[in-house]
Structure 1
Amino acid sequence: MRAGDLNRRITIQRRGDAKGGWGGSPKPGADNWEEVGKAWASIKTLSGLGAIKADAEMSVVKASIRLRWRADLAAGMRVLHGGTVYDIKAVLPDTARREHVDLVCEVREG
């Protein structure tokens, strides 16, 4: 894997515990994310498609993110790059050579 291909600095996050004050129970409807780490990656947009859901127009963009090998990634996490949030739908590791991991992601706007 060439280092020049990894030209985007990303932040990887997983859903954390949204605790109430003083370590109480989770807040209802809280959306709390904690940082897993940062990495250099390449981001490629695969497709964009329009869909109508519940009488609201939405666009769904699919992307592939490739980064160096790491074993702590899972579907349900997310990647941040600039102001864009990528929801990780699948993790495809290069198990033969352990050089990289491809993340199948979606970006939703609408």
Structure 2
Amino acid sequence: MTLDAGSLNRRITIQKPRQMQDEWGSPIPDSENWVEVAKPWASIKNLSGLGAIKADAQASVVKTSIRIRYRTDITAGMRALHGATVYDINAVLPDEARREHVDLVCEVKK
């Protein structure tokens, strides 16, 4: 199956945490500040919704798959933005056989 370019109908922004340094010069991620990596076209599919009780408060977690054209600079720990929605990237699944696409396994916490 080939990648249907028409299915990539959402423009997203992929960001990574800005790298800071501790007093010894070791890199540490700064989860407060993000740096833009890319603005690819994507296909976004919500896989499931999960309601959970955490610390006596209702939490909603949505599992989402985002498909973009093949690239090698995206890693788990980055995030994708589409409008006001922030997707935490938990895993990156590249199509190594054809090198046509990358599936990003994401979570949206609300």
Q: Distance in 2 between matches of 1:37 and 1:76?
A: 15
Q: Distance in 2 between matches of 1:64 and 1:30?
A: 22
1:4 partnered with 2:6? yes
Q: Kindly provide the amino acid, as one letter, of the partner of residue 11 in structure 2.
A: R
Deviation of 1:17 after TM superposition, in Å, equals: 3.2
Q: Distance in 2 between matches of 1:73 and 1:9?
A: 16
> Secondary structure at the residue paired with 2:6?
helix
User: Are the equivalent residues in 2 in contact too, given 1:13–1:37 (CA < 8 A)?
Assistant: yes
Q: Distance in 1 between matches of 2:17 and 2:56?
A: 29
Any gaps of 5 or more consecutive residues in structure 1? 20-28
TM-score by length of 2: 0.87
TM-score by length of 1: 0.87
Structure 1 residues 30 and 11, CA gap change in structure 2 (3 angstroms): closer
The aligned residue for residue 82 of structure 1 is: 83
User: Are the equivalent residues in 2 in contact too, given 1:60–1:107 (CA < 8 A)?
Assistant: yes
Question: Aligned Cα RMSD in Å?
Answer: 1.7
* Divergent runs of 4+, >3 A: none
The aligned residue for residue 38 of structure 2 is: 37
The aligned residue for residue 59 of structure 2 is: 58
Q: Kindly provide the amino acid, as one letter, of the partner of residue 62 in structure 1.
A: K
Structure 1 residues 73 and 30, CA gap change in structure 2 (3 angstroms): closer
Aligned length: 101
1:94 partnered with 2:95? yes
Measured against aligned partners, the alpha-carbon deviations of 1:8-39 in whole angstroms (never above 9, x if no partner) come to: 000000000368xxxxxxxxx86010000100
Structure 1 residues 30 and 97, CA gap change in structure 2 (3 angstroms): closer
